[in-house]
Amino acid sequence: MKKTQIVLLVLVAVAIAVITGMFSDFSTYETFASAAETPGKSYHVIGFLQKDKPMDANDPNRFIFYAKDKSGATTKVIFKGGKPMDIEKSEQIVMKGFIDNGEFHCTGIQMKCPSKYKKDQVVGDMG
Amino acid sequence: MPGKLGYFFIILSFIASLFSAFAYFRSANTEDSDLEGSRSWLKMARGSFIIHTVSVLGIFTALYYIISNHLFEYNYAYAHSSKALPMEYLLSCFWEGSEGSFMLWAFWNSMLGLVVMARGKKLESRAMSIIALVQVAIATTLLGLYFGDTINIGSSPFILLRDKMQAAPIFADPDYLSKYIQDGNGLNVSLQNYWMVIHPPVLFLGFASTLIPFAYCIAALWKGDYQLFVKPTLAWSLFSGGVLGLGIMMGGAWAYESLNFGGYWAWDPVENASLVPWLTLVAGLHTLLIYKATKRSIIFTFILLLLTHLLIWYSTFLTRTGILGDTSVHAFTGEGSSLTYHLLAIIGVLLLISIGLMWKRWKAMPRIKKEEEASSREFWMFIGSFVLLLSAIQISISTSIPVWSPLAKWITGKDVAPPVEPVQHYNSIQIWVVMVVALLSATILYFKFVKTSVKAAFRSLLVTFIISAAFTALVGITQKIEIGPYFLLLFASCYAIVANLYYAFAIQKARLKLIGAPIAHLGFGLMLLGILLSSYNKEVISWNTTGESIGLKGKDMKQTLKENRENIMMFKDVPVAMADYMATFKGDSTSETDPRLFYRVDYERIDTTTNEVVERFTLYPDLIKPKNSESFTANPASKHYLTRDIFTYINQASNSKLKDAYTKYTVHKGDSIFLTGGYMVFNGFIPNAQNEKYVPVQGDVSVAANLTIFNMKGKVKDIAPIYYIRDQREYSVEDTFAVMNMQTRFSKILPDEGAAEIEIRQETPDFIVLKAMVFPYINVLWLGVVVMVIGFLISMFYRNSQKEAKTRSAE
């Protein structure tokens, strides 16, 4: 076998190992209930802000609100960050985080805003 | 009228490119059998390509006329511009919409096509038939042909607003324009930035330029002629590598200056989608060099360069069709399923042509049996290119999650989402790729094609190795880079910088035509160093220390402090400490007409020994409230130093307009309402209530809401706003709590739910919530980008002039 082929074979093997390995990095879309099955593990949950429930934005580094997921269950969400501007106007939010003690600890929120010409907004763990 | 003219140009550009592609094809196919016939086809093809180019310019002019004259009866002007828009951003309106971007792409393709037409010589007919064909494809996206209600081919930028929204009743009024449509929606505020005027044209020039290597490769495969195409393909690939690289990084500079995720690169799908073709392009460029020098790697070269242009279309597919959906910050608005199928069809056709020709020529392509030396440049160059391809594959798989997740769901039942920590996900893999590439980019130049005298190379390498090790130690210690992989990366980038500098100046004696490659590699090394230093030591300086936050039930202060507290709350005129600075929020600009609200923050650096102010500056981070929108967008402000940037943006601000408004809450017994500085709990109803402000009259029905106010320390006060019905009308009596500047109303009772509607108004002092970060040595990154692009361009001119010399001597 040629040297090139050997090296390529090794590289391909490494690449396959890395790529299979990275699948465990991928998250899944869950509901609050299914995320609660493994507390502490992070998932994506698609939901809606409960606008009639209280929101706490006193702390610039923590924002507490209630969200309803697609199955209709409502959970208290603790976002480690300031209140995203105009979250009240969002149509839908995608929350990244984990369940702990029945509360959803959120590390990133992406909002879908109704205006067609406004881009979606992401807050949280970018960069 | 300008719309009709514009649409006429769209049709004309479509027909002209179609005919040009056909005529070039005929010319290419007859050039060996019927030279005269081929010549006349060629003339017609050239003529129609020129007509096509003129029509593309015509489309541009018509749309520019519509936008700059504010003709809001056209949807494009209405949707993307407004009267107040400054002149310099009128061009940005073009690329906000999908149609305008396709136009920009078509424009660059036709310009580059003219160059190929003028300089393509024997390859012109073949290469140009591909270029014209791609122009046909792009023109179809602008056609806007409708079949019934659901199917359409392309979408025209010249559609009238009334046709776009037929259902809206205002269009029944013949004077709808003067009555209802006074102004357009305006340009997305984050695009109102000078980078957005120049980043899209450069990026699209980069996209367009990948078509030329693609076309030349097809031209080579077409007749199985693997000689002529090498030099122009090499020069164009170098051009493309430089311009596309520049365009991508300009996007990074824009993100850094006008988005608030705090950085220049977030591994966002849109960023990845343009990076991946750049990686395959650079890989293909290097294998083409191998082929030129040794006749090896031709197949791999074709695969990479064909793939590059296909990936540009794939990236268009990812960013334009809305398929990225929830996963991207700046995916464009989805154009619906018609564009999805449209782009898939175009990719399919180009893929079929590529695979078909590769298939046809597979056996006859030149191959070299003899094994290459491990000490040869080509051996290591090939490995480097292959690593770049693997890197592109990894990024593509992760970025394409929304594309393949339906399949994964069908197989495994799991709804796959992108990684929770995308930056970490990509960084942890790609750090090894850039490390290998940086090491190779430095070492390779010391090796010669075919065989290297190991001794001589080793001597030079040893010198550079020692210098780089010393340099690494110096930077590593002063910058405190202590984590293993990052230290290795630091060495790799220092080595790339030192070895390429040494090669360019000590070995090649700075002879311009020989230093393109080491300069480009040097730029790459500098970029890596800049990325490493600015992100490894990125520091948040806005730690919240004002103690304005409140403890929550079940959470003690210790636990609260452990969490990320990167946003600082600043009250007006109250100085807060931020690293070496004292920062003071001084107030906002309040202009009724300006959609931007500037927040003035003064910074002072005080010498700790003399207690004197040694430095003073002011930053104005702002919030922009776009027209027809209630939302605000934050726009950062930075203080630039040579060795670092201080980057700040507003996260929240007290809204002076909201001060007088009551906020409404519906509460059940036991529910709490959060306030500024505390919270209140609804304990239930008190029937037959009365107090000093309300004395009941015969026939009244009155009830009070029993509310308890808590602050950080505990219970503060009970209040009881009253709701009563008199003569079948509802009234409410406010209760106030002066300490918290708060008025409370009990405005409604919901007997079915047993709930109360409470309205609260609370006056708060002016404040902002700010995040501030320091990016050290970020200028090294920008310098690296510039150096790399210069390197690409030097190489391009060198390869280009070399070609001229060769042809002249051959003639």
Chain B residues with CB-CB distance to A54 below 8 A = 665, 667, 671-674, 679
DSSP-assigned states of every residue in B730-784: EEEE-EEEGGGTEEEEEEEEETTTTEEEEEEEE----EEEEEEEEEETHHHHHHH
Structural domain contains residue A48: yes
In DSSP terms, B703 is beta-bridged to: B687, B723
Find, among B164, B213, B191, the residue nearest to B101 by Cα. Answer: B191
Q: How much is the pLDDT for B626? A: 62
- Mind spelling out the 3-state secondary structure of B31-53? CCCCHHHHHHHHHHHHHHHHHHH
Average pLDDT per block of 10 residues along chain B, 811 residues long: 90 96 94 89 95 96 90 84 80 83 94 94 93 96 79 82 70 68 72 84 96 96 92 95 96 85 83 95 96 91 97 92 64 62 94 95 87 85 94 94 89 87 89 94 88 82 92 89 87 94 87 89 96 86 55 38 66 85 84 75 87 89 69 82 89 64 80 76 85 82 88 80 86 83 85 85 79 90 96 91 50 33
Chain A residues with CB-CB distance to B390 below 8 A = 11-12, 15
Q: With contact defined as beta carbons under 8 Å apart, do B167 and B251 qualify?
A: no
Q: What are phi and psi of B438, to 5 degrees?
A: -65, -45
State how beta strands A43-49 and A27-30 pair.
Answer: parallel
Identify the helix (H) or strand (E) that includes residue A46. Answer: strand A43-49
- The structure's pTM equals 0.86
> Is the per-residue pLDDT at A122 higher than 50?
no
Helix (H/G/I), strand (E/B), else coil: B579: coil
The residues near B421 (Cβ < 8 Å, ≥ 6 apart) are A125
List pLDDT tens digits, range A76-99: 999 988 888 777 777 788 899 999
Numbers of helices and strands, H then E, in chain A: 2, 7
Whole-number Å distance between alpha carbons of B687 and B722: 10
- B630 → closest Cβ in A2, A29, A89: A89
- B266 → closest Cβ in A7, A81, A127: A127
List pLDDT tens digits, range B175-223: 676 666 667 777 777 777 788 889 999 999 999 999 999 999 999 999 9
Chain A residues with CB-CB distance to B544 below 8 A = 60-61
Cβ-defined contacts of B506-513 (< 8 Å, 24+):
B507/B460, B512/B794, B512/B798, B513/B794, B513/B798, B513/B801
Residue to substitute from B183, B191, B420, interface A, most A β-carbons within 10 A:
B420
Helix (H/G/I), strand (E/B), else coil: B640: strand
Q: What are phi and psi of B11, to 5 degrees?
A: -60, -45
Residue A56's domain comprises 28-123
Helix (H/G/I), strand (E/B), else coil: B549: coil
| A40 CB within 8 Å of a chain B CB | no
> Is the per-residue pLDDT at A52 higher than 80?
no
Whole-number Å distance between alpha carbons of B588 and B572: 10
Cα B135 to the center of its chain, rounded Å: 25
Judge: A56–B372 Cβ closer than 8 Å, yes or no. Answer: no
* Integer CA distances (angstroms), A127 to B271, B304, B568, B615, B679, in order: 13, 30, 19, 29, 34
Structural domain contains residue A119: yes
Please list, residue by residue across A37-58, b when 16 or more beta carbons sit within 10 angstroms of its beta carbon and e when fewer do: eeeeebbbbbbbbbeebbbbbb
Q: With contact defined as beta carbons under 8 Å apart, do A60 and B566 qualify?
A: no
Judge: B549–A60 Cβ closer than 8 Å, yes or no. Answer: yes
| B262, HSE (Cβ side, Cα atoms, 13 Å) | 27
Structural domain contains residue A46: yes
Beta strands in B60-171 (DSSP E): 145-147, 151-153
What DSSP state is assigned to residue A56?
B
Cα B788 to the center of its chain, rounded Å: 20
The residues near B59 (Cβ < 8 Å, ≥ 6 apart) are B6, B9, B10, B13, B103, B106, B142, B157
The residues near B549 (Cβ < 8 Å, ≥ 6 apart) are A58, A59, A60, A61, A62, B560, B569
The residues near B681 (Cβ < 8 Å, ≥ 6 apart) are B670, B671, B672, B673, B707, B708, B710
Chain B residues with CB-CB distance to A26 below 8 A = 398, 401, 416-419
Find, among A43, A79, A125, A66, the residue nearest to B671 by Cα. Answer: A66
Identify the helix (H) or strand (E) that includes residue B229. Answer: none
> By CA distance, what is A15's nearest residue in B?
B390
Structural domain contains residue A66: yes
CATH of the domain at A110: 2.40.50.140
- Report yes or no for ipTM above 0.90: no
- B549 → closest Cβ in A44, A59, A121: A59
Structural domain contains residue A91: yes
Q: How much is the pLDDT for B226? A: 92
Helix (H/G/I), strand (E/B), else coil: B515: coil
The mean pLDDT value for A108-117 works out to 65
Q: With contact defined as beta carbons under 8 Å apart, do B165 and B61 qualify?
A: no
What DSSP state is assigned to residue B304?
H
- B567 → closest Cβ in A54, A55, A61: A61
Q: With contact defined as beta carbons under 8 Å apart, do A61 and B564 qualify?
A: yes
| A120 CB within 8 Å of a chain B CB | yes
Residue to substitute from B631, B667, B673, B767, interface A, most A β-carbons within 10 A:
B631
- Name the token pair of B260: 């608030």
Q: What angle do CA A120, B88, B115 make, to 5 degrees?
A: 95
Taking every pair of Cα atoms in chain B, the longest distance, rounded to a whole number of angstroms, is 115
What average pLDDT is seen over chain A? 80
Structural domain contains residue A21: no
* Integer CA distances (angstroms), B46 to B21, B132, B159, B183, in order: 10, 10, 31, 43
Structural domain contains residue A18: no
> Is the per-residue pLDDT at A41 higher than 80?
yes
> Is the per-residue pLDDT at A125 higher than 60?
no
The percentage of chain A sitting over the pLDDT mark of 90, rounded to a whole number, equals 16
First to last CA, chain B: 53
What DSSP state is assigned to residue B505?
I
Judge: A81–B567 Cβ closer than 8 Å, yes or no. Answer: yes
Our count of domains for chain A comes to 1
> By CA distance, what is A58's nearest residue in B?
B676
In DSSP terms, A94 is beta-bridged to: A46, A110
Structural domain contains residue A20: no
Whole-number Å distance between alpha carbons of A85 and A62: 13
